[in-house]
Structure formats: C-alpha cells, structure tokens
Amino acid sequence: MFKKPIYGNTQGLKKSDLDLLHSIYDLVADKNTIISLDIARIMAAISSSCQRELAVFIDRQGRVVSVGVGDALTVQLQARSRRRGTYRLAGLRCIHTHPSGNGKLSRVDYAALHELRLDVMAAMGVLGGKIKEVCFACLEPQEEQLTKYFKDFGPMSAVQLTKFNLSSLIQSIEGRIKPPASVCPTDIQKDEKAILVTIASEDTLDELALLAETAGATPMARVAQRRNVPNTAYFIGRGKVEELAQLRQRLGAELIIFDSELTPTQTRNLENAIGCRIIDRTTLILDIFAQRARTKEGQLQVELAQLRYTLPRLTGLGTALSRLGGGIGTRGPGETKLETDRRHIRRRIDELTKALEQVRQHRRQQRQNRRESAIPVVALIGYTNAGKSTLLNTLTQAQAFTANQLFATLDPTTRRLQLTGNREVLLTDTVGFIRNLPHHLIKAFRATLEEVVEADILLHVVDASHTELTEQITAVESVLTNLGVQEKTTIMVFNKVDRPINHQLLEQVKLSCPYPAVEISALTGIGIEQLKELISQNTLHQRHLVKGWLPYDRTDLIALLHRHGEVYREEYNPEGIFVEAEIDASHWMNVAEHIDQNAPLSK
Ligand SMILES: Nc1nc2c(ncn2[C@@H]2O[C@H](COP(=O)(O)OP(=O)(O)OP(=O)(O)O)[C@@H](O)[C@H]2O)c(=O)[nH]1
Ligand SMILES: [Mg+2]
C-alpha cells in the first residue's frame, strides 16, 4: 500500500520509530484544537529517542498533511506548499519538537511561521519521552497586512494546549487582514437570500431590490408595514418582527434589508429577535461602494464612510453572525478592529481623513492646472443608472464602464470632448446620486464630488423613461443644494428617449424646469448634436475675439487659430495677413501679443 512520505532526513531512524511516524498520518486532530494528545505524545517519544526535531503539519479539518524530521522550514519545503494568496493564512498549523526540553520558539520557528504564513506554529519541549512545555505563536496583522509581528502564547502544558480554541484565533487574525482591492470580487457572496422591509409603500422597494441585486443578494420577499413613525426599539411593530422571523425561517433567508437607516439599538434588537443579519439601506450602499471602489481614493473614501457609519452598528449578535462568513454589509475594514481596539478606529479615521485631504489637494492642483489652460469643465451628474457613463462614451468614444446597475461608476473619469468650431471642453463622469444619499457618504465622497463643485457647467442626466423621474430629479437637486452648487449653469439632459416614455409627464417636467433641456438617447445617438450645440452655447464665454494683422512670418499663429478657435476672416494682403477669429482663452495670450491693429507693412 502507498505510504505517505516522512519528509526531511530520516537516515539513522529506527524502523519502529519510522513506523510510528507513519501512523501519525492516520490520526486526526480536532479541527478546533491545535493538536490532539495522542499525536503530541507519539512525537515526544520519537523525538526524545532519536534526539531530532520532528515537525507535523495539520490542516483546518484536523488532518495530518505532512510529517517530517527536522525543523519546520525543511519539512514544509519538501512537502507541498499550500499558500492561499498573500492576504490569507495558509490554512495549516505546524507542531514541532525541541528535544532540548525548551518549548520556546526559535528564530527558525518564527521565520517558518512568517514565511509559510501558518495559522499557528507550536513548539514542544520534550525530555525523556515526555512533553515538558509547549509554546506557540501566530502572526499579528499590522495595518491589515501580515508582517513579521507575532503574538506568543505559553509556556503551557500539553493538556492546556489541547484546550485552546484555535478557530476563533484564526478568525480574529483573518478578520484583520484586508485583501487588496483586486481580490475583493472573489470574496463577494453571490446570491445571499434577502428579505426587504419598508415602512413606506411597497413600491419604494423596487429600488432597494435593485440595490440588493447589485450587491449580490437575491431578494426573496418584500414586507411592508405602513407606519408614520418607526418603532424606537424595532423600527417595525413587535408583531411584525415575529412574522418576519417566521418568514425568514421558511425562506431560509440569511439577510434582512431595511429601506431606511436603523439605529444601532434597532439593529441589535432585530438581530436578537430574528436571528439573522440585519442591515439598512445605507450599509447596503456602502457595501456596494466597497465592492466597486477601484482607485486608492475611492477605497479611502468608502473605508472612511464605513468606519464612521457601519462599525459602531456592528455590535452584539451582528458581530457573531457576520463572523460566520462575511457577506453583504460585512465587507470593508472588518469589524474585528472594533473588538480589539476602538482607539485604532479613531486613529484610522484620522489617517484616512489626512490621506483624503492630500487627495483633495492633489485634485485641487489638477483643477487649477485645468483652469489655467482655461478649458471649460462640464460635469455629468444625475441619478444612478441614468446613463451618464453611456453618454460620456458616446460623446467622447471613451470606454467608461456602464451597466444596468446602481453605482456602476464610483471614480471620476475625465475626457476631452470636441465641439464644433474647434471648441473643446473636458467632460467629467462621476458617481451617481440616489434619494436619501447618506450624509456620511456625501461627506466622505467630497474629494470626488468636488469635481462637480468646480465644474463650469453641469449636465443633469435624467432617465426620461423612469416612472419616478420627478422624484429622481428632486433627489439630485437636493444633493446639489447640499453641495452648494444649486446656482450653477445647468443643462437638463433627458436620456433614454428611445424607450417608451410618458410624454405627458416629461412635458410637465420640462415646463417646470428653469434650465435649457434636450431629449437624447445616449445609446442610439438621438439628440446628441443638439446637446453638443447646447454645451457650446453655454461655454461660449470661454473664448476671446481676435481681430487685426499678423506678419507673414507668423503663419504658425494662423495655424494655432485654426486649431484652437474659429477663423471668420483670413485675408492675405500685400502688407500682411488680416484675421478675424475667436480662440480658446487658453491660447489667446499667445496670439494677442502679436496681433496688430495696423497692417505691419503700412507702418
Ligand atoms: N435604452 C437606453 N438605455 C440606456 C441609454 N443610456 C444608457 N442606457 C442604459 O442604462 C444603463 C445605465 O447606464 P450607465 O451609463 O451605466 O448609467 P450611469 O448613470 O453611469 O450609472 P451609475 O454609474 O451607476 O450611476 C445601462 O444598461 C445602459 O446601457 C439610452 O439612451 N437608452
Ligand atoms: Mg456610470
């Protein structure tokens, strides 16, 4: 029969010891404890008898995966390496012996713990065939990364070692390691069954359902209980809580999402009464943002918002429940931080605030540069899913990500847009708005939203085919007011007119809106030329008139006028070139100083 190998240098080992070593493979440790006593005792006996170090690796199911003679590094390097990505532990623990009787971990032991990213490294000091003392250590994440920081346990007896709860130690370590953004999507729990709850009318749950789906959940049922005032303890009535608990059981749902903000007490009470994870709309939106954020800036903003909002709410049962495997509302900074060190959170908030301040400075500088080049900036704003990114793509042939999802865009994208008459503007696409956009989010997303604040004009993109277009416009306007930009020059862009439209409603909306409006389809191209014309008209003041004479040796300036402006007259006379043109403010100075009111050769 195939025998699993004994790794390391086995030369000189007695046959009976080798057989005993082989027998370790047949033993299984309890998955929650570091090692079982029978394995420990066999190791102590052989290690003492041959006066060599022995190492045993056990996986999370308690199975012995490799047995060897020598230190942990030698043994494991010969056995198959089992790294599971840099942001996770290897899922293996190592127990090895020191025949000197000293149970303290050696430098090699710590090195192996770090290099192999072990769950735990334990050293057993053995003397006279008996276990004298045991020490073990695990990695201690710093700033969400696994570094060379260790946490030591022991010395203790072998019996004490078998009583130690390994699972919760591993969970607490892994809870504090943050995967890099690029690996986040693999952690998304697809199809978490969810129940949606509101105290308004059931229609309002359409949007919540879309949000839930965007986050990766499957809405299974909708529960509406009309109330003017939420119950302070449970948000909904006590009887409804019972009903919800039964419904959850029947459907096997893992998550209940409320359409409003819940207080920490309400969340806790509901979790205790229903026994599953309860999240509110804000937490759901933050979760989507956490999944979407790709740039460093986006990630900083989401983490800040989460720390400010979600973490103080993740207390009580929620903590235990979310430990059972993450899921919606549990992504992001990780709540173990909350348990271990509240001061750490405050420190992190400070760090994030400072880092974001730097981002803002940087963006301010970028905007300053743009301002100097005097190219007008046009910001695309609007309700999420209105078609902003699609419009950016249509107008500029950009390749911004678009999707029939809420919050497809998180990070601002800026592209140049060529208009008629060589006119040029910068078009910025940014995060979509939503009704009751959480206050924390507006604050956290200031760096991004400042693009809107600093823009010269706004294109307010509206999904004209949406039944709630009026509500969506109002929601966007309320965010604009919040940002203090309600007075900015705005063009209303009614998008998706290729779809069935309630024309009566659209006409009403257009009549009541004080801004110039245009109907378009970003998808099919209807109305795009008209929109460009409106953008031109509204950014006209950014051009200067040039009228006068240029010498023949400055035909380069004529070329510049053609490139960055519109030339109305261009006459080649014997005494010089007479031009009448308009040119972008950014290039005006270059030409203006050479333009002469009098013909050069007539002077
Ligand atoms: N029929 C039709 N669909 C459109 C039109 N414009 C956009 N869409 C669709 O609407 C959905 C949302 O488009 P996006 O461009 O991602 O919307 P957005 O406003 O950038 O959304 P967020 O970034 O999520 O805020 C996509 O499925 C688009 O294909 C249009 O003119 N007509
Ligand atoms: Mg978008």
Q: Residue 497 domain-assigned?
A: yes
Which residue's alpha carbon is nearest to atom 1 within ligand 1?
496
Name the range with the highest mean pLDDT among 316-330, 357-371, 502-516: 502-516
Please, which residues bridge with residue 517 across strands?
A: 492
pLDDT at 334: 46
The response to whether residue 495 sits with its C-beta less than 6 Å from ligand 1 reads yes
Q: Quick check: bond before 155 cis, omega within 30? A: yes
143 pLDDT more than 80: no
Q: Residue 398 domain-assigned?
A: yes
**Is the whole model's pTM more than 0.90, yes or no?**
no
Q: Name the residue of 383, 396, 402 to mutate for ligand 1: max ligand atoms within 8 A of Cβ.
A: 402
The response to whether residue 298 sits with its C-beta less than 6 Å from ligand 1 reads no
Both 406 and 466 in a single domain?
A: yes
Q: Residue 361 domain-assigned?
A: no
Long-range contacts (CB closer than 8 Å, 24 or more residues apart) made by 550-559: 550/576, 550/577, 550/579, 550/594, 550/595, 550/596, 550/600, 551/576, 551/577, 551/594, 551/600, 552/576, 552/577, 554/594, 557/590, 557/591, 557/594
The alpha carbon of 412 and the centre of ligand 2 are apart by a number of angstroms equal to: 9
Q: Which of 205, 234, 207 is nearest to 222 (CA)?
A: 205
Task: Give the separation between CA 457 and CA 126, rounded to whole angstroms.
Answer: 77
Q: Name the residue of 213, 380, 383, 390 to mutate for ligand 1: max ligand atoms within 8 A of Cβ.
A: 390
The response to whether residue 385 sits with its C-beta less than 6 Å from ligand 1 reads yes
Q: Residue 388 domain-assigned?
A: yes
Both 95 and 114 in a single domain?
A: yes
| Closest atom of ligand 1 relative to the 524 alpha carbon | 31
Task: Give the separation between CA 17 and CA 23, rounded to whole angstroms.
Answer: 10
Both 329 and 277 in a single domain?
A: yes
The alpha carbon of 491 and the centre of ligand 1 are apart by a number of angstroms equal to: 18
Cα 362-365-369 angle, rounded to 5 deg: 140
Q: Residue 370 domain-assigned?
A: no
Domain total of the chain: 4
Which residue's alpha carbon is nearest to atom 21 within ligand 1?
385
The alpha carbon of 393 and the centre of ligand 1 are apart by a number of angstroms equal to: 11
Which residues sit with Cβ closer than 5 angstroms to ligand 2, an ion? 388-389, 408-409
| Closest atom of ligand 1 relative to the 429 alpha carbon | 20
The response to whether residue 462 sits with its C-beta less than 6 Å from ligand 1 reads no
The Cα-based distances of 575 to 295, 548, 572 in angstroms read 57, 12, 8
Contact 301, 448 (CB under 8 A): yes
The response to whether residue 404 sits with its C-beta less than 6 Å from ligand 1 reads yes
The last residue of one of the domains, among 126, 157, 177, is 177
Both 401 and 501 in a single domain?
A: yes
The Cα-based distances of 56 to 104, 164, 170 in angstroms read 17, 18, 18
The response to whether residue 151 sits with its C-beta less than 6 Å from ligand 1 reads no
Contact 169, 140 (CB under 8 A): no
pLDDT for 301-341, tens place per residue? Answer: 888 887 777 666 654 333 433 433 445 555 444 444 444 54
pLDDT for 382-405, tens place per residue? Answer: 998 999 999 999 998 877 777 776
The response to whether residue 465 sits with its C-beta less than 6 Å from ligand 1 reads no
The last residue of one of the domains, among 345, 363, 388, is 345
Both 392 and 267 in a single domain?
A: no
User: HSE-up of 234 (CA within 13 Å, CB side)?
Assistant: 18
575 versus 321: the higher-pLDDT residue is 575
pLDDT at 395: 93
Both 197 and 265 in a single domain?
A: yes
The alpha carbon of 435 and the centre of ligand 1 are apart by a number of angstroms equal to: 18
Both 37 and 137 in a single domain?
A: yes
Q: Residue 393 domain-assigned?
A: yes
Q: How confident is the model at residue 602 (pLDDT cuts 50, 70, 90)?
A: low
The response to whether residue 399 sits with its C-beta less than 6 Å from ligand 1 reads no
141 pLDDT more than 60: yes
Compute the average pLDDT of residues 253-259. Answer: 91
The alpha carbon of 311 and the centre of ligand 2 are apart by a number of angstroms equal to: 28
125 pLDDT more than 90: yes
Domain at 394, CATH number:
3.40.50.300
| Closest atom of ligand 1 relative to the 392 alpha carbon | 15
Tokens of 238: 């006590």
The last residue of one of the domains, among 143, 158, 177, is 177
Q: Residue 523 domain-assigned?
A: yes
Please, which residues bridge with residue 121 across strands?
A: 94, 137
Q: Which domain holds residue 549?
A: 543-602
- The mean pLDDT value of the chain amounts to 82
The alpha carbon of 432 and the centre of ligand 2 are apart by a number of angstroms equal to: 7
186 pLDDT more than 70: no
pLDDT at 46: 92
Q: Residue 67 domain-assigned?
A: yes
Both 136 and 195 in a single domain?
A: no
The alpha carbon of 188 and the centre of ligand 2 are apart by a number of angstroms equal to: 21
Both 327 and 391 in a single domain?
A: no
Which residue's alpha carbon is nearest to atom 14 within ligand 1?
387
Compute the average pLDDT of residues 541-558. Answer: 85
Range with the lowest mean pLDDT among 7-16, 199-208, 447-456? 447-456
Both 237 and 122 in a single domain?
A: no
Both 529 and 592 in a single domain?
A: no
Domain at 221, CATH number:
3.40.50.11060
Name the range with the highest mean pLDDT among 67-71, 340-344, 504-508: 504-508
In the three-class reduction of DSSP (H, G, I as helix; E, B as strand; rest coil), residue 150 is classed as strand
pLDDT for 431-469, tens place per residue? Answer: 788 877 766 677 667 666 777 888 889 999 999 999 989
The alpha carbon of 521 and the centre of ligand 1 are apart by a number of angstroms equal to: 10
Both 189 and 326 in a single domain?
A: yes
pLDDT at 325: 42
The alpha carbon of 288 and the centre of ligand 2 are apart by a number of angstroms equal to: 14
Q: What value of ipTM does the predicted structure carry?
A: 0.99
The alpha carbon of 468 and the centre of ligand 2 are apart by a number of angstroms equal to: 19
| Percent of the residues in the chain that have a pLDDT greater than 70, as a whole number | 85
